Amino acid sequence: MIPLSSDASFHFELLRTLGAARYAGADIAEVLTAAAVITPGDFESWYQAFYHLAERVKSSIRPDDAARYPVSVRDAMFRAATYYRAADFFLHGNPADPRIDSLWVEQRACFDVAISLLPIPGQRVKIQADGFVVPAIFYRASRDGVPRPTVLFCNGFDGAQEEMLHQNGFAALERGFHVLTYEGPGQPTVRREQKIGFIGDWERVVTPVVDYCETVPEIDHRKLVLFGNSFGGFLVPRAAAFEQRVAAVVCVDGIFDVYQGFTQQMPPDMRATVQSGQTAELQENLPHMLPHMPTSMRWGIEQMEWSFMLPVFEALEMTRTMTMKNIAGQLKCPVLVCEAEEDQFFKGQPELLIRALGKRATYVKFTTEEGAGNHCHVGASAKMNQVVFGWVQDVLDGVSPAEAMVV
């Protein structure tokens, strides 16, 4: 693949944004034009390129266009929302940066206009949990009122629920599933509006969501599918070990041990210091070290501190409890565990999860040859959704997981 940037992290995030084009979240030439003016590794340059792109796309719509050109307005607002989210991506090293909140206001406003113009408008809901509120969006595949299987989408370490519509949500709707996206502590909206960082016991998020689904007549609550993307590949199976009313779990991609997954990305000397627990001096010197680190490492540390709301090494210590060890055996439903051949973040973790789950798991490896070898198969959403929803449909129809479609 021809790199979209000489900076590997920028290349991945550009591919991620570009991949949204398959399901109405971006336009190819717009993203490539933005990529051409970004200085590799320069976070401010990234912000400027995507902020100006978002503003330009939004400004192409006039206040009264929705009544006359609803499809054009919808598509433009989806794209603008994606670009505002992209503009925010590398800003979290300074939590006081006002753009972190203002960009989110803009992306949400654009996204809400867009989902209001869908053939069946999306509906934002607030679900009360123990100590926080779960923001969610419910999308109906049909107005016929017949109870349908529903996929509950959870994004990961940095992604928004809005992004999930373009990665997998539209694909699920096209196949007749209702869709509910949601966010919990540490994820973009809850972190901003409720000031709560990540928690390990994700069933505290999922159980209220399942409770909500049981109140909606159009949802067949016997056929709920938990879908976890990226870090969600740990959060979702963790929740399903305790919340057992779900019919199936999808991990894109599977994570067995979060602490191991995060620390294996560190340079050996830093990893040794972290594992020794002697991190006080390292934490003190971190602000001077960050500008000289590779982009992926710098961004990962800054994002961890922002999303966990803790100094990075305290956050890492917290992730020691984020493991499927000793609880994987509690899952009762079939689980699809996906793996990316060249995963940049959690390489090897799907295999560990597969071993722990045993016969309950179906495994599929997406390869570089088929264009799907990147983390979460960004840029290959059509292929991924073909595999994932084929398996989901077969499992819900009673086909043995061992016989479910894996292409």
Residue 63 banded pLDDT, cuts 50, 70, 90: confident
- Enumerate domains of the chain plus CATH numbers: 1-117 (1.20.1440.110), 120-257+322-407 (3.40.50.1820), 260-320 (no CATH)
Q: Please, what is the average pLDDT of the chain?
A: 95
Express each pLDDT in 20-57 by its tens digit: 999 999 999 999 999 999 999 999 999 999 999 999 99
Average pLDDT over residues 88-115: 98
Nearest CA to 394 among 345, 344, 334? Answer: 334
Express each pLDDT in 212-237 by its tens digit: 999 999 999 999 999 999 999 999 99
Express each pLDDT in 274-300 by its tens digit: 888 888 888 888 988 999 999 999 999
Residue 400: what pLDDT? Answer: 62
CA-CA distance, 348 to 184, in Å (whole number)?
26
Concatenating the DSSP letter of every residue in 48-113 gives HHHHHHHHHHHHTS-TTHHHH-HHHHHHHHHHHHHHHHHHHTT-TTSTT-THHHHHHHHHHHHHHH
Residue 191's alpha-carbon distances to 37, 132, 195, in angstroms, are: 31, 11, 5
Residue 401 banded pLDDT, cuts 50, 70, 90: low
139 CB-contact burial (10 Å; exposed 0-12 / middle 13-18 / buried 19+): buried
